[in-house]
A = this chain, B = another copy of it.
Amino acid sequence: MTPAKARALFRTTDVATTAGFSAGFAQANLIALDRRYAFDFLLFAQRNPKPCPVLGVLEPGQVSSDLLAGGDIRTDIPAYRVYERGSLIDEPLTASSYWTENTVAFLIGCSFTFEQALLDNGVPLPHIEQGKNVAMYRTDIECEPAGVFSGKMVVSMRPIPASLVSDAVRITSRYPAVHGAPVHVGDPATIGISDLGAPDFGEAIDIPPGTVPVFWACGVTPQSIVMSSKPDLAICHAPGKMLITDARDLVYQVP
């Protein structure tokens, strides 16, 4: 299914997850904020490109772009989550009624892109084999603050066979637009994670013997940091239900 057809489908139809749709095309996280937060948030992203890689920004009044040609950011995601001062108030199928002329939409890179690159290169991903959501953890790594936004980094963890860790680093470092290289390899305690069996988001996974826990900056970070600053309103995608963009995964690969 082309990205345009997938977006048209999601305009009227909810799905459990967009994972697997329009293979080869990048999916994106959405965070939409009032314009008065826009500079601080874009600056936060500039300073924290690993947890917050910006694929595109729709300015006030703009509801489409070349990342979603002919589409509408307010309707083309299967489901949205709306937060008022950091609290979830609604999970609508379209966000049109919450959108104003001052809403700025940030499209943030998603790890689906680098996971596909890992699989294509023969690096196994246990959470996918186990049919689970990736395990995510709050760390004690401080993000670079920007304006009103500050807080700790959230990471995702994938257990990688020891002999493939350097491949996993090499492969993902070529995708800085989708979280890039790992932020940490090995001992979870060093970055403030006390128990791999108790993730803060996602699901605990069985860790195969002979693997090393490898940690990547996670797109949950900006969402968690924005929420803790309690903006009047924030409009996000519902978890696992991403915007399918017209950008091929491969355009985000660097040399």
Contacts and interface: CB of A to CB of B under 8 A. Distances in A.
Interface string A32-46: 000100110011001
Interface in A1-50: 35, 38-39, 42-43, 46-47
The binding surface of chain A is classed by DSSP as helix
Interface residues of A, number: 18
A85 interface: no
Contacts of A146: 59
A170 interface: yes
Nearest to A37: B39
A243 interface: no
20 contacts: A38-B39, A39-B39, A39-B42, A42-B42, A42-B43, A42-B46, A43-B59, A46-B46, A46-B54, A46-B57, A47-B57, A59-B146, A59-B147, A170-B255, A173-B255, A174-B254, A174-B255, A176-B254, A254-B255, A255-B255
